[in-house]
Amino acid sequence: MRKRFSSVCSSSSAEEDGAGLYDGLPLSAADPPGEQEHPCAALLCCHRVQDSLLSSNSSFTGYRGILNWIIILLVLTHAHLFLENFIQHGFLIDVKKVLEHLIEDNWPSVKLIVAANMFAVTALLVERSQEKGMLSPTNAHRLHLANLSALLLFPAALIVHERTISTGGAFFCLWFSTALGMKLYSYQETNRWYRRAPLTDAERDCDVSVARKSPNEQLTFQDLYYFLLAPTLCYQRDFPCTPKVCINKLLHRLLEMAIVIQIMVGIVQQWIEPIFQRSENSFSSMDVTMRVELLVGLVAPTHFLWLLLFFLTHSYLNFCAELMRFGDRHFYGDWWNATTLVTFWKNWNIPFQKWCHRHVYTRLVENNVTPSRAELLVFLMSAALFEYMIALPLHSCRLWIFLVMLFELVVAVLLANYFQGNYGNGLVWLCLLLGPLLAVITYFHDHYVSFRHHSHQSSSSPLTSDHRLPSAVFVQPR
Cα-flanking dihedrals φ and ψ of residue 40, to 5°?
A: -115, 25
pLDDT at 184: 95
pLDDT of residue 201: 53
Highest mean pLDDT among 3-7, 67-71, 442-446: 442-446
pLDDT of the residue at 212: 56
* Side-chain half-sphere exposure of 140, counting CA atoms within 13 A: 21
Q: What is the extent of the structural domain holding 140?
A: 107-199+206-241
Q: Could you tell me if residue 467 is inside a domain? A: no
Q: Decide if 143 is inside a domain.
A: yes
Looking from the CA of 368 toward its CB, the CA atoms found within 13 Å total 0
Distance CA 331, CA 97 (A): 33
Residue 50 has pLDDT above 70, yes or no: yes
- Lowest model confidence (mean pLDDT) among 145-149, 422-426, 466-470: 466-470
Using DSSP's 3-state secondary structure scheme, residue 210 falls into: strand
Contact 234, 186 (CB under 8 A): yes
Q: Average model confidence (pLDDT) for the chain? A: 79
Task: Assign 3-class secondary structure to 115-163.
Answer: HCHHHHHHHHHHHHHHHCCCCCHHHHHHHHHHHHHHHHHHHHHHHHHCC
Asked if residue 259 belongs to a domain, the reply is no
Place 99 in a pLDDT band, splitting at 50, 70 and 90.
low
Is residue 45 included in any domain, yes or no?
A: no
Lowest mean pLDDT among 205-209, 323-327, 331-335: 205-209
| Residues 221 and 124: beta-carbon distance below 8 Å | yes
- The C-alpha angle 194, 199, 203, rounded to 5 degrees, equals 130
CA distance 133 to 127: 10
CA-only gyration radius of the chain, Å: 30
Residue type (1 letter), 257:
M
Label residue 366 by pLDDT band (50, 70, 90). very high
- Band the pLDDT of 26: cuts 50, 70, 90: very low
pLDDT digits over 234-249, tens only?
Answer: 999 888 998 999 999 9
Q: Which residue has the higher pLDDT, 225 or 211?
A: 225
pLDDT of residue 228: 93
Residues 25 and 221: their CA atoms lie apart, in Å, by: 76
% of the chain surpassing 70 pLDDT = 79
Q: What is the mean pLDDT of residues 362-383?
A: 92
Note the pLDDT tens digit of each residue in 30-46.
Answer: 455 556 777 777 777 77
Q: Give the helix ranges, DSSP H, for 246-340.
A: 247-267, 273-277, 288-323
Q: What is the model's pLDDT at position 378? A: 93
Sign of CA dihedral 61, 64, 67, 73: negative
Q: Is residue 226 part of a domain?
A: yes
Q: What are phi and psi of 39, to 5 degrees?
A: -60, -20
pLDDT at residue 471, as a whole number: 43
Within a domain: 327: no
Average pLDDT of 157-172? 81
User: 454 or 201: which carries more pLDDT confidence?
Assistant: 454
* Digit-coded pLDDT (tens) for 270-287: 888 888 888 777 787 777
Among candidates 146, 148, 151, which has minimal Cα distance to 173? 151
Q: Is the pLDDT of residue 177 over 80?
A: yes
Per-residue pLDDT reduced to its tens digit, 378-423: 999 999 999 999 999 888 888 889 999 999 889 888 887 788 888 8
Does 323 or 78 have the greater pLDDT score?
323
Instruction: Please check whether residue 153 lies inside any domain of the structure.
Output: yes
DSSP output for 355-401: HHIIIIIHHHHHTT--HHHHHHHHHHHHHHHHHHHHHTTTT----HH
Cβ 233 vs Cβ 186: under 8 Å:
yes
**Residue 162 counted as domain residue:** yes
Instruction: Pick the more confident residue, 5 or 48.
Output: 48
Q: How many structural domains is the chain composed of?
A: 1
Q: What percent of the chain has pLDDT over 90?
A: 29
Cβ 402 vs Cβ 384: under 8 Å: yes
